[in-house]
Amino acid sequence: MAAWLRSPVAGALGMSVLFALAHAPGYVLRGAHSVEGMARAPDALGAAAYAIVILSPIGVAFGMLWARTRNLTLVVVLHGWFDLIPNIAPLIRAFAS
């Protein structure tokens, strides 16, 4: 995206919004809203807005990490780690029962 927009900053910002929007369906379709502490699943527009506000800064951080290291494995492992942290307690409860 940086090459397409001819700006590394614009590319990183654009990709961070796409990163957030890629996660928005999870709030509506797979119950990720409960992990986020929402009382009920939002509609599609609400999920997209929430994802952009909450997840775009994380996307910017991942973009900066990629730009500095060019190490996709590091970015993928950190993304997995950040996904694991809020889900570890339910996972342990599921396997313990």
Predicted confidence (pLDDT) per residue in 38-89, tens digit: 778 788 998 899 999 999 999 999 999 998 999 999 999 999 999 888 788 8
Q: Please, which residues have CB within 8 angstroms of residue 35's CB and are 6 or more apart in sequence?
A: 86, 87
pTM for this structure?
A: 0.78
3-state secondary structure of 18: helix
Is residue 28 scored above 80 in pLDDT? yes
CA distances from 6 to 3, 11, 65, 67 (A): 5, 8, 19, 15
CA distance 43 to 59: 22
Residues 8-29 have a mean pLDDT of: 91
The domain segmentation of the chain, as residue ranges, is 2-96
Query: Please, are residues 63 and 16 in contact by the beta-carbon 8 Å criterion?
Result: yes
